[in-house]
Structure 1
Amino acid sequence: MTSDPVVPHLTVRQLLEVPRFHLRLVAGEGGLDRTIRWAHSTELLDPGPYLRGGEIVLTVGASLRDPGACAAFAESVKAGRACAIGYGVGDVTAEVPEALREVCDRIGLPLAEVPAEVPFLSFTEWFAERLAFTRDERHEREETGRLLRMIQQGHASAEVLRERIDDAGLDPAALLVIAMDGVEEALPGVLGLDGDMALLVTNDAHAWSEPAGVGSAGSLDHLPVSLAESLTALDAARHAGGVVHASDLATFQALLGRLDHDQLAPFLEQIARPLNEYDSAHGTRLTETLRTFLDMGGAVGATSRALFLHPNTLRHRLARIESLTGRDPLRFEDRVALAIAVWATR
């Protein structure tokens, strides 16, 4: 098995950094972030029909005798959706032809010089090793994901993960779970896959890929709690974007953020709409008054001062709000419903 770093989605840029190949980029820098999956060697002038996409096309340039041939070859490689060209020097030419460099720069196709001592076969062997390793790694991650789901559902103890946690060198006294939608980069910890979702058991609360939900840290016994928090936080992050931590969940705003449109619709229809329609029809400011009243914690005096109103005028407006919505702003439970309507309108 190769000792070179293995990443889930290899880019041309990352292939250039693999030590064993000693590749040197000579053209096409703009295409370095393309994903590459395989290597294909050929001396055909028109290899495009034989490509599946995502290859580095390796050649020693036997057919590239003039600028026209170089252009035709590079255009065919690009049409075949390959990611790059690797030109082996020392066999036909001592360096990469200038004409090939020019066309690759023009069409944005990375062109790398392959040293004479690096056989093309080593590329296909490396990709095959990498593919096998990736498949084994994915199987391990899917198994970890299955165990995490069993823990979350109460069908298994967090102890089932102890060996994996020890092997990863994690501190068992400060474990937390991060739930993410997809992971491209390597992250520190034990990674489980559950469909398109990734669940990372780690000590690093910053090891995430957005959107993400971060559970609280604790011992191995705390792991089910952290897992549940991370899943709830991920759901909130999917709505709001970014990263949501467990500490963000126990707030009124976070609770409302987890409500979907159908759950919010009654508050909009029964409370927000009547107030907005009344304001539009009569030129009043009931919605603004309610928002300020809620911001002031339901205090009549503070709200009156903030709106420059006499307290009796404010009470009159609050009574109008009650008559339109059926909710009394002075009653706590009704004030919560009014707050939800105001938040949903925002």
Structure 2
Amino acid sequence: MLTIRRLVAEPSLGLRVLTPELGDSLENEIVWLHTTELPDPSRYVRSNELVLTNGLWQPQVSAERFVDAVAGARAAGLVFGLTAQTPSIPPSLAESCRTRGLPLIELCIGVPFAAVTEAAAHLRNEDLQAELTATVHRSNALAASLSRGGGAAGVLTVLRRDSDLPLMVVDRAGRCLASIECQPTDTQVRDAAAALHRTPPPLEVVLDDSGPAVLYLVQGVLGDINAGLFCLRPAADLTATDKEALAQAARFLSVEVTKQQALHAIEARFAGELLEMILSGPGRSAEVAHRLRSYGVPADRTLAVFAFAAADPADQDTAVPDGIIDVIAAVLSAHGISAFTGAASRDVVAIFPWELGTDELTHVARDMSAEVARRANQARIIIGVGDLAAGAGALREPLVRAREVCQVLRVTEGKDTATFADIATFRMLFGLLDDQVRRRFAQQVLSVIREHDLRANTELEQTLRVFLANDGRWAVTAAELHLHVNTLRNRIARITELTGRDVNRLESKIDLFLALYLVPDE
């Protein structure tokens, strides 16, 4: 960095500081040098420039006025070049500089301003060369770290060689990928992820009560924001070198985060394929066993199945919050359980070996529900517990039951964990059937009603839904649909005629209810 002190240290210039009491100001950065003899150069002097003058302005303006103009422009200092006409510094000039806090430097006779400018250019080139060298060395170190598999933590380790800044890398899913010189709290990580979702993302963000943190975006190949490098210091506390190093690290982190996201996508695809294999039945048990072993799960032992989801029936998209699969894997690992975990559209499935009984399994599920909710910052995490499976070939029914239990718990109050035996409803029975069988049943029952509604522009299906939802109460249903009771009776009679199912008979009412359950109202 070019400063007055570095210029004064150049022996060939013969510079002498006349305001030693302003020593701290000698360390301020000089952006460049400005030579002037104008009585009022304030319009042309930039902030932090070093002003050079021979004092030719003295017949026109007092030293005090000139210093006021230079100091008002926020110049870094004043170099007064002695000449034969002015062989010494005017006392009023020195006093004015002390009063305004403007460093004053004397340049001896015979040394031209060009020599000072040349020396400044030489020092600036030295700085630029040093910065370039440091950037190249850091780039090589970052590349080497990533090539050795150091990941995001390796990138931060390289940065620590030059500074002790507290840093963390957080992705949009709310995962802390690495940290150094700090211990990020759950709140800090959550606030950091929230900042990445803002449009546009802030340059600084307040994380918890730790004060402002500088954000450097980690972008993907298409310019999308994948993560952020957070320096837990305000921008004002960072040097230019710090900022350059952090920006450079963020670019390298883009490569690492993109790679990790690609790996996560591949893992998710393989996990989804494994779940499909299990659901297809025992015919692919050999493939299921092979896949489970690749995840470190022994396929020939007794296996347990958990289905996790966030309990928020008002928003089905939040069944699998961002990052929850990593939280679940970490909680399972903390309990000493080596498991396969895979995310589906409605839940996260975990399959793992289990040597104890169902009671112990349910107890572990209750503990995990609370722990996952706390770590994932969710109000409530529910877990459907499947029956124990005697090996990989017997996983289909426990998996279906665990997932159906999970979905039942999502829309009910009370329990956060349950088994099939705890919640035995028609939903469980449907869960054991193939999707094709369920769709065929609903189509057989409802097709004539839907065709009639489409052809005659009626609302028989909606009428039936409301009627059954109100437990067949005629007056309540008529009031909700804004119909006369006789009109409602005519519609129900038409439904009976079309479907051959009389709502006054229990078995017919069950058929109609289940068909409507399988085909949600659109």
TM-score (norm 2): 0.32
Answer 1 or 2: higher relative contact order, Cα 8 Å, separation at least 6: 1
| Greater C-alpha Rg | 2
